[in-house]
Amino acid sequence: MDSSPRAFKANARAAVKDPQLKRALAHVKVGFIGKRAKAVARLPEFDALRDAARDIKVHTLDHLDLYLERYEERMTAQGGQVHWCPSAADARAAVLDICRRVGAKTVTKGKSMISEEIDLNQHLEANGITPVETDLGEYIVQLRGERPSHIIAPAVHLTKDLIEADFRAHHRHLPPERSLEEPRELVEEARGILRERFLAADVGITGANFLVAETGSSIIVTNEGNGDLTLALPRVHIVIASLEKVVPTLEDATTILRVLARSATGQEFSTYTTVSTGPRRAGDVDGPEEYHVILLDNGRSEMLAGPFRDALRCIRCGACMNHCPVYHAIGGHAYGWVYPGPIGAVLTPGLIGIEEAGDLPNASTFCGRCEAVCPVRIPLPKMMRHWREREFERHLTPRAVRAGLGLWTFLASRPELYHRVTGLAARLLATLAGRKGRLRSLPLAGGWTGVRDLPAPQGRTFHALWAERNRSTGP
């Protein structure tokens, strides 16, 4: 699969025909949706918390410069160091500089989508440093040389037989006759292998769910405990975070935490929520001696200026993709970049350009479930519509679509003509469809009828029915 949003259509076509992917994605539908619904039902305050979480994010984005200043001030006072990085290249260079200065050979990593965004692993490897992903899903994906296909469940596109095959291929020092059929056995094997890596690492890199201006802290949320071993054992802890992760206070982070796990995995609270503030203190017998935060912009300050500011509220729970019929059908890799699903369809064009990612905001049925479940109420469908408008304005929309829209505009602005043409079309299609009421193929609509029948109109238009209804029920 080509990993570029330009290949979206080809990727999506291949994905829907992949039976293994279909089996794996079935877990998304039953698992995530049911668990979230249960957790939400148990907390009467859930919707009030969503409103509060949205308000916190809106307030913070409106004052982002000031909160970042405060954050840096507090963080530096606790002995940490902020590295301001306008671009992905700046962030890669900053991480590599630290690793080189401390003579790092291996680096353990907690889960971080920003790391994917800046292609950090490739950069470290090219410079002779071995990055080891320690989140189980990330570890599996790293073994396979793939990207995560989901922001909180990186290996959700895989079934356990594939993971077993990867473990057998890579863990060659273990007895080949061992049993790896049960998920428990796979988890156990990864635990054993990664334990050694945790203890040997020179630098630990984690992401951040939040940066807290009040205390200069970074917060991560995990279930496995890998992030904690990553940040507690090595001599240096590097956090990579983007600008919009900052929140004002610990209370604000708490409000958002109350909706985060419930929206993501349906848990009441994640197993581990960990707050890091600076390096180890005088008298501490463990913890890192250095604490660095890589603060990445990479297009976000520009998004802040325009109609896509609200997308920066995202807290990366994954609920929008868990509830998306398009994601259910094609999985995350087809999107071709770091963030899949509805939030990816909005963020990707913002971060790498609509010219690169124009297909993504078009890959939506506008069913609206993403917005309905978003814990910070991002109007995702509206934003996808914004992107479509931009595409149209910039003449990026395919010629056939533009011609179609032009024709429709011509008709729709002439009601008499519109009624006559649509009435004729409805009757014609109904006649062609015959008694089945469905069309198996239709000129100019091959994109639709190539994979499914087109339900035909029943012969009357809405306007005609409405007029008749008014006549029969009128005064």
286-305: which residues touch another protein (CB under 8 A)? 286-287, 295, 297, 301-302, 304-305
Footprint on residues 302-341 left by another protein (CB under 8 A): 302, 304-305
CA distance 364 to 371: 12
Would you count residue 41 as binding another protein (CB under 8 A)? no
Extract the tokens encoding 211. 């940066």
Q: Give the shortest CB-32-to-another protein separation in angstroms.
A: 8
* In the complex, minimum distance from the CB of residue 77 to another protein, in angstroms, rounded to a whole number: 9
Applying CB under 8 A, among 21, 53, 347, 456 the residue interacting with another protein is: 53
The one-letter amino acid at 304: L
- How many CB atoms within 10 Å of residue 201? 25
CA proximity to 398, closest of 359, 446, 451, 345: 359
Which of 13, 105, 191, 414: binder of another protein (CB under 8 A)? 191
CA distances to 302, 312, 347 from 357, rounded to whole Å, are: 17, 18, 10
Residues facing 131 on adjacent strands: 107
CB of 123 to another protein, least distance (A): 17
- What totals of helices (H) and strands (E) does the chain contain, helices first? 24, 12
Strand segments (E) across 90-176: 106-109, 130-133
> Does the footprint of another protein cover residue 137 (CB under 8 A)?
yes
CB of 49 to another protein, least distance (A): 5
Number of residues lying near another protein (CB under 8 A):
102
What are the angstrom distances between the C-alpha of 396 and each of 5, 279, 384, 388, 408? 14, 49, 15, 9, 19
272 binds another protein (CB under 8 A): yes
Report the nearest approach of another protein to the CB of residue 297 (Å): 5
CA distance 173 to 34: 40
Per the rule left: phi > 0, alpha: psi between -120 and 50, beta: everything else, 312 is alpha
Instruction: Give the binding range for another protein (CB under 8 A) out of 1-9, 187-195, 345-353, 369-377.
Output: 187-195
State both tokens at 463.
């306007």
Among 2, 181, 284, 355, binds another protein (CB under 8 A): 284
CB 381 within 8 A of CB 361: no
| 134 counts as binding another protein under rule CB under 8 A | yes
Task: Report if residue 140 touches another protein, rule: CB under 8 A.
Answer: yes
| Minimum CB distance to another protein smaller for 99 or for 186 | 186
Binding another protein by CB under 8 A: which of 9, 13, 86, 105? 86
Residues 195-214 that bind another protein (CB under 8 A): 195, 198-199, 213-214
The dihedrals phi and psi of 438, each to the nearest 5 degrees, come to: -135, 150
Name which of residues 154 to 173 contact another protein (CB under 8 A): 154-156, 159-160, 163
Residue 351 makes contact with another protein by CB under 8 A: no
Should residue 468 be labelled a site residue for another protein when binding is judged by CB under 8 A? no
> Closest approach of Cβ 293 to another protein, in Å?
12
Interface pick for another protein out of 56, 241, 383, 384 (rule CB under 8 A) = 56
Length of the chain: 475
**Is residue 475 a contact residue for another protein (CB under 8 A)?**
no
Candidates 243, 317, 321, 351: give the one binding another protein (CB under 8 A). 243
- As given in the structure block, the two tokens for residue 283 are 């008298």
Residue whose CB is less far from another protein, 160 or 382? 160
Q: Residue-wise over 161-198: b if at least 16 C-beta within 10 A, else e?
A: eebbebbeeebeeeeeeeebeeeeebeebbeebbeebb
Residue 303 identity: M
Query: Sign of dihedral through CA atoms 296, 302, 305, 307?
Result: negative
Rounded to the nearest whole angstrom, what is the least distance from the CB of residue 155 to another protein in the complex?
A: 5
Pairing of strands 106-109, 203-206: parallel
> In this chain, which of 17, 19, 44, 172 binds another protein, going by CB under 8 A?
44
Nearest residue (CB) to another protein, 188 versus 355: 188
Q: How far is CA 47 from CA 50, 247, 314, 320, in A?
A: 5, 20, 16, 16
Q: What is the DSSP string of 240-252?
A: EEEGGGEES-HHH
Subset of residues 7 to 36 that bind another protein, contact rule: CB under 8 A: 24, 27-28, 31-32
271 binds another protein (CB under 8 A): yes
21 or 163: whose CB is closer to another protein?
Answer: 163
Residue 427 CB, nearest approach to another protein (Å)? 49
Min dist CB 90 to another protein, Å, is 6
